[in-house]
Amino acid sequence: MKALGAGFATTLRHLWRKPVTEEYPEYRRALPERSRARIVLTHDPDGGERCVACYLCSGVCPVSCISMQAAEMPDGRRYAAWFRINFARCIYCGLCEEACPTAAIQLTPDFENIQRDILKLVFEKEDLLVDGCGKDKTYNFYRWAGVATAAGGKGAHEREAPPVRVRSNLP
């Protein structure tokens, strides 16, 4: 009987206490600055698609949730004809972003990416592409790559010497 009374007393005591549960989405906790969630594909500062379809991100992804098909423009610039991420499998580890040589693929803090229909978590290139450059506002892979494109011909890239004229270079 005594134990029963103690139990009721505890219940009554807790009945008037303020709840400690934070209601979501009414209350949104501030996220850490480097929190990682939904992935995007970015453009370079000249407005071109950054992704060169090198497959490094899909190769490094521990859950194999990235797939794509590489293609090439007439000026030699590579791009992804299609690019797909299955967010139902993604564990937001960030390895794809680390592997990317062009800063194309980037993780954002947007975690509100939940769907009842699991197939809606498969994002195509048009769902992933954003207008801007994301975290790195200045980097353009083709200004450094040494590949002749509209961004620069041979010898016009950063830290690249002009092409050598082989005839004048002979002893």
Encode burial over 47-83: b for 16+ CB neighbours within 10 A, e otherwise: ebbbbbbbebbbeebeeebbebeeeeeeeebbbbeeb
According to CB under 6 A, which one of 37, 45, 67, 99 is a site residue for ligand SF4?
99
CA distance 25 to 40: 23
Which of 19-27, 55-63, 111-119, 130-138 is the region at the interface with ligand SF4 (rule: CB under 6 A)?
55-63
Give residues 119-148 in contact with ligand SF4 (rule: CB under 6 A). none
According to CB under 6 A, which one of 6, 31, 71, 91 is a site residue for ligand SF4?
91
Asked if 67 contacts 157 with a C-beta cutoff of 8 angstroms, the reply is no
**Which one-letter amino acid corresponds to residue 132?**
G
**Does residue 52 bind ligand SF4 (CB under 6 A)?**
yes
Number of Cβ atoms within 10 Å of the Cβ of 128: 20
Encode burial over 9-31: b for 16+ CB neighbours within 10 A, e otherwise: eeeeeeeeeeeeeeeeeeeeeee
Report the nearest approach of ligand SF4 to the CB of residue 147 (Å): 13
Number of Cβ atoms within 10 Å of the Cβ of 38: 18
**Does residue 151 bind ligand SF4 (CB under 6 A)?**
no
Please, which residue, 84 or 160, has the CB nearer to ligand SF4?
84
**Does residue 105 bind ligand SF4 (CB under 6 A)?**
yes
Report the nearest approach of ligand SF4 to the CB of residue 122 (Å): 12
According to CB under 6 A, which one of 38, 48, 51, 152 is a site residue for ligand SF4?
51
**Does residue 63 bind ligand SF4 (CB under 6 A)?**
yes
Asked if 156 contacts 169 with a C-beta cutoff of 8 angstroms, the reply is no
Please report, as ranges, the residues that interact with ligand SF4 according to CB under 6 A.
51-57, 60-63, 65-66, 68, 85, 90-96, 99-100, 102, 104-105
